[in-house]
């Protein structure tokens, strides 16, 4: 089989339709895996958001009613803002589970 025959063979193989298109790379919205990913993302987002919200309430109570030295107050404010960021992250995963589960597909 010479070089000319090989190139004709490749050309023939490329021109035949195998039924494979770019659609195999797109995610299907009607699959069990997509439903599982969406429900898992919603569950993790809601539980994580609730935990961070409880942490925000506890830290806010400590800041309001605790006798914290001025030296350590910065740590408590940093913890409060960190928990607000964590709650926003988890609640956004809860609100947009299709987007979050679609990142990995």
Rounded to whole angstroms, the Cα distance separating 72 from 46 reads 31
Question: Which of 7-11, 37-41, 46-50, 94-98 shows the highest mean pLDDT?
Answer: 46-50
User: What is the per-residue pLDDT for 68?
Assistant: 87
pLDDT at 96 over 70: yes
- Give the side-chain half-sphere CA count within 13 A for 73: 9
Q: Which of 30, 55, 38 is nearest to 94 (CA)?
A: 38
Instruction: Give the mean pLDDT of 11-27.
Output: 54
Q: What is the pTM of this model?
A: 0.64
User: What is the per-residue pLDDT for 59?
Assistant: 95
Query: Under the phi-then-psi rule, with left for phi > 0, alpha for psi from -120 to 50, and beta for the rest, what region is 47?
Result: alpha
- Give the side-chain half-sphere CA count within 13 A for 93: 22
């Amino acid at each position: 089989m010479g070089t000319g025959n090989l190139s004709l063979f490749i050309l023939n193989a490329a021109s035949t339709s195998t039924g494979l298109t770019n659609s195999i790379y797109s995610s299907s919205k009607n699959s069990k895996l997509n439903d599982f990913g969406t429900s898992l993302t919603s569950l993790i987002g809601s539980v994580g958001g609730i935990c961070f919200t409880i942490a925000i309430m506890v830290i806010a109570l400590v800041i309001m009613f605790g006798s914290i030295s001025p030296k350590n107050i910065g740590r408590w404010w940093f913890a409060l803002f960190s928990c607000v960021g964590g709650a926003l992250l988890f609640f956004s995963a809860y609100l947009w589970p299709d987007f979050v589960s679609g990142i990995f597909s």
